[in-house]
Structure 1
Amino acid sequence: MRKETYLKVITLLLFTVSPSFGQENTQLRGIVSAPFLEEASIHIINSTQQTGTVNSDSGSYQILVRENDELLFSSIQYKNVTIRITSEMIKTGVLNIELEEDLNVLAEVNISNITLTGNINTDIAQIPIVRDLPVNFSIGDINNMIFESDINDPQKAPLNLALGQRPGLPGGDVLGIIGLLLSPILPDPKPPEIKLDFNKYKNNSDVIAHLRELFDEKFFTVTLAIKKDFIDDFIYFANDNGLGVILVKSKNQLSLIEFLLEQSKTYNKRKLGLD
Structure 2
Amino acid sequence: MKYFTVFLFSIITSFVFAQNDSLVTIKGTVINNETKLPLSNVNVINATRVIGTSTSGSGTFEIATKLNDTLLFSYIGYETVKVKVTNDWIKNNPTKIYLTEKAYVLDEVIVRQYELTGYVEVDTELIPVAADGYRYSISGLNAGYEAGDKSPGAVSRVIGSIFNPADLLYNVFGKRPAEMKKLKEMKKDDTVRNLLATKFDRETLAALLEIDKDDIPQILENCNYSEYFIQTANDLQIMDAISLCYEEYKILKKNK
Give the TM-score taking structure 2 as reference length.
Answer: 0.45
